[in-house]
Structure 1
């Protein structure tokens, strides 16, 4: 059980006491959920946050035993779509940072329609009534090493990064591997044109894994990350005190919605309704925000300490249909830009020897 798995985790985590009222579930749904007795959640959120969410859910509904399948968004998408093909659905609730996948699953009849009362608290652009709402909202920002770069010298906008002084001091995450970087590439490509990314490719080095990002910040020659996720700042700087500072640029913040929905023909549909209501409730959103470090768009959830309030961010709007249409084109473009620059750098190094 989830409770057994997170006893140590609860001892290590700070005490979180968040209690708000949320919509009372239908008694018939509770009765059927008691018969089902189980819930299976697929989530791309960080594992310790997922465990704590499920622990609190089990505290609220002790007659439901929960199971977590956690992984990257693409991994979960592939697993769920294999289940769709086989007709053997194991997931009850799906939560990944791939908004276009939810559009496709809805249109393909692979999501269960459910009109949660909690949807009313979500702005129209962050939900698809009857199908899903965005449980987490991941910002992509600029980050810098505060031990090597004073705050008054740090870049404040994306345009600031194009200066020659950042040559060799920038890193960029690879959008070929992570959906959040794909959204960032699309958002900034749409906002500033291909020229922006061409210039970044001349100044920055590409990293493949989050571990390399951490190593970058420990290098005294390195200073700025072009692709930093807002929740990294929350987890590593605010909670662990590491010397990384984040900047949410004034000229636009890419934002990745992370919807949550119920799978069609799920094995425990009533438990799934209870869980969806819980995770989208004021209590669930406040808890998720503290644990995962991502924004909630509910206006009755207090802002996170140490971070800008959500309504002060200059969010770059995303046309998700256009994003899906151009995704492969832009991924190939990124690959071409950075491969060319890598080849140029290698040639210059060879000629210099």
Structure 2
């Protein structure tokens, strides 16, 4: 980790000192008059979010990035509370639940803006919304993981269907779709693949339910549960890099891919700083920083993180944004009814 941290710091410094492109400099001059940008961050861990905020401020002195980190559902609830109170606090909203953006766009609460840097992203991430009200800014890969001291590679589940086997009763951990947008997407995908009774069958194995998708990683690390379900590859690899006995499992059916957007709020108090932050989100600097924390690179000019399979060698499973908008709210209610939490 020391080597990764040193590399990340050196990369960040090099980027911070690089000449600005004309469009970037124009935005920076306007953003500097505003002085800050407030980012509701739910796509990255707290550590990664803070690292991104620091790198942005280092690149753009005089424009402070205020990071408000939470899970996706909590971030969306906070945004809704802001609206009801008539308060404008959030400049850039970043959720792992794509359905949030369908709803916000429908309510005319987003600013139309396409970052220039979006043209250099992976083809699958270049366009989130044909009308350019939101733009992909992260790619989460969710799969299985296990504590190697508790379950051997040979014994570990090999597929999503395997977690329904009674032998895993009291040995599984999972997040909660009422807090994590990614878990809502995962549960929706599982129901689509395995039928409407998937969650009831899954509940019979009595998984320990946390909040964030990261919570099962913590539970595996602590030895509380042997197998994490729908765990983020980034957080699992990060924990393993610190000497914890964790290992990823790539399910035979494929991994759940959650390309997650960001958007500028229509009432953003710092609109120019928000546009500058969106350019930063889609440019190479962000991927250089986040890959050191094992997050997927968003661009072909930045290599994937160590320990991850190349995306072209993995089956990616993901419902559409429209399906997420329709299905996740109903699924959250079904989850609470089935799991009692």
Please give the alpha-carbon distance, in whole angstroms, between the structure 2 residues aligned to 1:116 and 1:187.
30
Name the Cα RMSD after superposition: 2.9
- Alignment counterpart, residue 163 of structure 2, candidates 161, 164, 175: 161
- Alignment counterpart, residue 251 of structure 1, candidates 253, 264, 270: 253
Aligned to 1:71: 70
- Taking a change above 3 Å as real, the CA distance of residues 173 and 105 of structure 1, as seen in their structure-2 partners, is closer
- Alignment counterpart, residue 214 of structure 1, candidates 218, 238, 245: 218
Give the match's secondary structure for 1:76.
Answer: helix
Preserved CA contact (<8 Å) 1:297 1:310: no
Preserved CA contact (<8 Å) 2:99 2:325: yes
Q: CA deviation at 1:164?
A: 4.1
Please give the alpha-carbon distance, in whole angstroms, between the structure 2 residues aligned to 1:167 and 1:81.
38
Q: CA deviation at 1:64?
A: 1.7
Aligned to 1:199: 201
Q: TM-score, normalised by structure 1?
A: 0.81
Please give the alpha-carbon distance, in whole angstroms, between the structure 2 residues aligned to 1:265 and 1:333.
34
Give the match's secondary structure for 2:76.
Answer: helix
Alignment of 1:260-279 (within 5 A): 260-279=262-281
Q: TM-score, normalised by structure 2?
A: 0.84
- Taking a change above 3 Å as real, the CA distance of residues 211 and 180 of structure 1, as seen in their structure-2 partners, is closer
Q: CA deviation at 1:186?
A: 0.5
1:227 aligns with 2:230: yes
Preserved CA contact (<8 Å) 1:22 1:282: no
Aligned to 2:240: 237
Q: What are the superposed Cα offsets for residues 61-113 of structure 1, whole Å, 9 maximum, x if unpaired?
A: 11323322222222221222333344432222221222111122223221111
Please give the alpha-carbon distance, in whole angstroms, between the structure 2 residues aligned to 1:219 and 1:338.
22
Aligned to 2:108: 109
Q: What are the superposed Cα offsets for residues 158-197 of structure 1, whole Å, 9 maximum, x if unpaired?
A: 1233434334433333333322211111001101213443
Alignment of 1:83-122 (within 5 A): 83-122=82-121
Preserved CA contact (<8 Å) 1:127 1:133: yes
Unaligned runs of 5+ in 2: none
- Taking a change above 3 Å as real, the CA distance of residues 152 and 69 of structure 1, as seen in their structure-2 partners, is same
Please give the alpha-carbon distance, in whole angstroms, between the structure 1 residues aligned to 2:331 and 2:49.
32
Please give the alpha-carbon distance, in whole angstroms, between the structure 1 residues aligned to 2:274 and 2:230.
34
1:330 aligns with 2:331: yes
Preserved CA contact (<8 Å) 1:39 1:64: yes
Aligned to 2:29: 31
Q: CA deviation at 1:242?
A: 0.4
Aligned to 2:135: 133
Preserved CA contact (<8 Å) 1:41 1:69: yes
- Taking a change above 3 Å as real, the CA distance of residues 86 and 25 of structure 1, as seen in their structure-2 partners, is farther
Larger Rg: 1
- Taking a change above 3 Å as real, the CA distance of residues 201 and 67 of structure 1, as seen in their structure-2 partners, is closer
How many residue pairs end up in the alignment?
Answer: 328
Please give the alpha-carbon distance, in whole angstroms, between the structure 1 residues aligned to 2:235 and 2:119.
30
Q: CA deviation at 1:304?
A: 0.5
Q: CA deviation at 1:277?
A: 0.7
